Amino acid sequence: MIRSGVAKYILLIGAEKLSEIVNFEDRGTAFLFADGAGAVIIGETKVQGIGPTIWGADGTQLDAIIMEPDVFTAEKTGNPSVLTMQGQQVFRWAVGQMGDACTQAMTAAGVSVADLAAFVPHQANNRITDALVKQLNLPDHVAIARDIQYSGNTSAASVPLALARLRENGEIKSGDLVLMVGFGAGLVHAAQVALVP
């Protein structure tokens, strides 16, 4: 939209209110998911600050994270649906697929792990993050986002919140190169390299 002149600036928002669909009796999900929102404004620049997006979906994993009717939850919260997740299935898929998506995003942007200042993965859990850091062989100078320890898994808000925390902590600054990857229900994923706003 910006390249075509339709818009000068675009506000991008990732927001979730997962507390309404989490079954707090489910030990596999209740402690993971949280509410959150993150936003960024993008516009035209002289230097391209957003790399090509590598994205896709794996419909064979459609049962890994789903919403389904739940009478117990509906009675307690008034919400007739609840989030359920097959944790081990999601873990295996994420570790098996997200490293490739990250590598493709770096290749598409023409950068290597040595060029990165930070890695900002979807904040699903630290075990997935650790596996991806190892797979990508990230150098020690690359800051790793671990906002899940503070904000939980806020789904669509997790990458912007994690990026903001790295900035607040002084681990990255405007203009630094970051590799971001997100994934979720479907299972769907997207990865790209960008300059920190």
Domain count, the chain: 1
In-domain check, residue 2: no
Does the residue 4 lie in any domain? no
Domain that holds residue 74: 9-195
Instruction: Please report whether residue 1 resides in a domain.
Output: no
Q: Which two tokens stand for residue 189?
A: 């994923």
Residue 54 lies in a domain: yes
The reported pLDDT for the residue numbered 162 is 96
Q: Quickly count: other Cβ atoms within 10 Å of residue 94's Cβ.
A: 25
Provide the token pair at 51: 């790399």
Closest CA to 55 of 166, 196, 186, 197: 186
Q: Tokens 């490739």 map to which residue?
A: 100
Walk along the chain (197 residues) in steps of 10 and give the mean pLDDT of each run. Answer: 93 90 81 90 89 92 76 62 81 91 97 98 94 97 96 92 96 96 90 94
Q: Looking at residue 71, what DSSP letter applies?
A: H
By CB neighbour count within 10 A (0-12 exposed, 13-18 middle, 19+ buried), where does 22 fall? buried
* pLDDT at site 60: 86
- Assess if residue 70 is contained within a domain: yes
Answer whether residue 3 is part of any domain: no
| Residue 59: predicted pLDDT | 85
Whether residue 94 is contained in a domain is answered as yes
Predicted local confidence at residue 29, as pLDDT: 78
CATH number, position 176: 3.40.47.10
Q: What is the pLDDT of residue 99?
A: 94
Instruction: Tell me whether residue 95 is in a domain.
Output: yes
Residue-level pLDDT at 138: 98
